[in-house]
Structures are given as C-alpha cells and as structure tokens.
Structure 1
Amino acid sequence: MANQVEQQLTEELMPFLQKERYATIATVDFETNGPNVNAISWVYAPDHNTLYFAVDNRSRIVQNIKHNPNVVLTTIANGTTYSISGKAHIKAEKLEDTPLKLGLIAIDVEAVRDVMFYGSKISADISYEKTYDQNAAEKLDRQVMDAMKKA
C-alpha cells in the first residue's frame, strides 16, 4: 500500500482492527490547538468506513474531540505503519456492560496511508503487558471489546 491513499480500511488491515491492539490517537488539544497524542488499546473496526475506540469518558481525548473532530489513529500491522485519519464523534458517553466509565468514540474514516519510511518494514509486532491482575485485565478487555462489537 506504500504511497497510496485509500478512502477506507483495506481488506488486509481489517483483521488487525478486530481485536485489542496498540495504537496511538492524535487529537487537536482544545486549549493549545496543538497536537495531543495518546496510546490506546481498545480499538475495533465494525466496517471498512468506521473505527471505534474506548477511553475513559473524562479523558482529555474526549474533550478534544468535542472541540475539534479531526483525528489520526496510527497502528502497526502487516510490517508497516498505518495512519488512519478522519472525523471523530462521541458515539456513547458511557459504554454499556463495562465496569469503567468509558466513552465510545467513532471515527468516520477519510484516509488510510502507509506512512512507513522508504525501504523498510517492521520486523517484529509490538507487544505489551498489562501491569495489573492478569485475570482482571483479560476480563475487562473481553467486556470492552464485546461492548464495542454490540454498539
């Protein structure tokens, strides 16, 4: 996909966006109008034109989106780095069936770009560990992902 701009999520990218994964979300800070970047993991693509993610509904991310809907979600998959830009909106102030106060954000995908620098590829997938109770983390991850799939 190098040097191409797609208007929707591609077939090769969709499987990676059907489960929890490391991504970053860039928003426009509502106070400074500068960039604001956060790491997130609860990401789900219900179709080729939409991305969901869940975050604490008191998060600065939510405030930023309410003031300016322009966002970029960046993730690594297929040995490359994807930049997915679009307009975001609050789909739900409180994601049902989860124990935390999570907001559900929807991104209307406008552009998908392969932004990996020339002549290179990612040779190992990013991995991370939850640093709290493993059973509680797995249960929470299931609850959040299931709730996003039902939304």
Structure 2
Amino acid sequence: MANQVEPRLIKPLYDEMQKERFVTLATIDFETSGPNVSAISWVLAKDDSTLYFAVDNRSRILENINKNNKVVINLIANESTYSIQGEAQLKEERLQDVPLKLALVEVTIREVRDVMFYGSKIVTEVQYDKTYDKNAAEKLDRQVMEAMKKA
C-alpha cells in the first residue's frame, strides 16, 4: 500500500505545529553537496502550506539553504512519521523581540508524505528536556514562538 501524499499540512499536523516541538530538518550541505540533518524545535505552521522556523543566524543551515533551498522537515505526530518537503528562504535576518540573534526561515510546502513503515504506528512521541535554566528556557521559547506568529 502506498503512503499518503498531500500537497499541504492536514489539520492534525497543522495543529501539532502551533507549539514548539522536536523535528529534524534535512538540507543539502553547501560544501559537500551531501545530506545534512539538524534537530530544531522552534517551528511553526503559519498556515497549511507555510512553515516558519528560527535558528541562530550563524547556523550552517542558513548557508545550506542559501546554496540549495530544498529542505525536508521530519515530523513525528498523529501516530505516524511525516516528511514535509519544501523550498526554504530567509524571511528575516534577525527575528524581532528576541534576545538571541535568530534568523527566521520560511518554508513553502510542496509535499507532505506519510513515511511510516507499513502496519505500524507511533505510540510515544519524542520528549526532551531543556538542560539550562527552566524559567529562562520557557521565557525564550515564548518570545521566539510569539515573534514567529507576528512575522
């Protein structure tokens, strides 16, 4: 049976991407032309065909996107695993109202593919803990997500 393919986010995925969450981002490395995978958490669905994510404005991710704007975001949600393929572009060099120097990247979604292997489902989603000051982490997370919502 073929995996489901959609041209945009389905509602359960859109809803899941309204809060900070763990995803992986695949880009093409600007030096090696090979795959490069990063874990990020500041990601937001602006609408069902647009994602925003924030990264340090010195990140290799930005150099990679500058040379080749094709990206894939891997999302575990809705009891499955999804590959969200799109084209990325720098939207803001410096995200406003955030104390860190973060860049805002916009991803135009081209395809959302359920890539979970046949006959299985995710029963536990990825969880993580911030390893620095919890209050500072929560405050920064709120600032970043609010700034992305305003963008």
Tell me which residue corresponds to 1:76.
76
Tell me which residue corresponds to 1:100.
100
Partner AA of 1:108 in structure 2: T
Tell me which residue corresponds to 1:51.
51
Q: What is the RMSD computed on CA atoms of the aligned residues?
A: 0.7
Structure 1 residue 25 displacement after superposition: 0.4
SS for the counterpart of 1:98 is coil
Structure 1 residue 30 displacement after superposition: 0.3
Q: 2:125 & 2:30 partners in 1: Cα distance?
A: 33
Structure 1 residue 79 displacement after superposition: 0.8
Tell me which residue corresponds to 1:67.
67
Partner AA of 1:122 in structure 2: I
Q: 1:125 & 1:29 partners in 2: Cα distance?
A: 28
User: Unaligned 5+ residue runs, structure 2?
Assistant: none
Tell me which residue corresponds to 2:127.
127
Normalised TM-score (structure 1): 0.98
Tell me which residue corresponds to 1:28.
28
Aligned sequence identity (%):
64
Provide runs of 4+ in structure 1 moved above 6 Å.
none
SS for the counterpart of 1:12 is helix
Q: 2:78 & 2:45 partners in 1: Cα distance?
A: 16
1:9-29 CA-partner distances (Å, limit 9, x unpaired) = 111211101000000000000
SS for the counterpart of 1:148 is helix
1:97-135 CA-partner distances (Å, limit 9, x unpaired) = 000010000000000000011111111111100000000
1:21-42 CA-partner distances (Å, limit 9, x unpaired) = 0000000000000000000000
Normalised TM-score (structure 2): 0.98
Corresponding pairs, count:
150
